[in-house]
């Protein structure tokens, strides 16, 4: 079981790279479209946003630890799962339970 969890965790660490590649491709497609339709400035804006998003996805961030404590049955796990995607960089974070070893 632990080996499976470790393998999933290792695979999850590649997700920002894959998301970055996808955003870079979208930026490239929009840039090509912009060159073909030279008057549409909104396409250039969207292409730049995708490019910046792609760059941010692979930019290393500082490690973070968020600990949530409280009495049994108060919703700590629910809160942690609901907040996990908010922790930068995308795709967020993983939730570990102290009872899981």
Residue 51's pLDDT is 97
Quote the CA–CA distance of 2 and 5 in Å, as a whole number.
5
Residue 1's pLDDT is 47
Residue 14's pLDDT is 86
Residue 52's pLDDT is 97
Residue 53's pLDDT is 95
Q: Which residue has the tokens 């967020």?
A: 92
Residue 21's pLDDT is 97
Residue 74's pLDDT is 94
26-to-7, 33, 37, 54, 63 alpha-carbon distances in Å: 29, 11, 16, 10, 29
Ranges in the chain, pLDDT < 70: 1-8, 100-101
Residue 83 in contact with residue 75, Cβ under 8 Å?
no
Residue 71's pLDDT is 92
Q: Kindly state the tokens that stand for 36.
A: 């073909």
Residue 64's pLDDT is 82
């Amino acid at each position: 079981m632990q080996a499976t969890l470790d393998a999933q965790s290792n695979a999850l660490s590649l997700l920002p790279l894959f998301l970055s590649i996808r955003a870079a491709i979208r930026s490239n497609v929009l840039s090509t479209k912009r060159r073909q339709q030279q008057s549409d400035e909104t396409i250039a804006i969207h292409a730049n946003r995708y490019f910046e998003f792609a760059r941010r996805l692979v930019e290393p961030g500082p490690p973070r630890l968020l600990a949530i404590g409280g009495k049994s049955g108060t919703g700590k796990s629910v809160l942690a799962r609901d907040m996990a995607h908010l922790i930068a960089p995308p795709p967020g974070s993983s939730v570990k339970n102290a009872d899981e070893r």
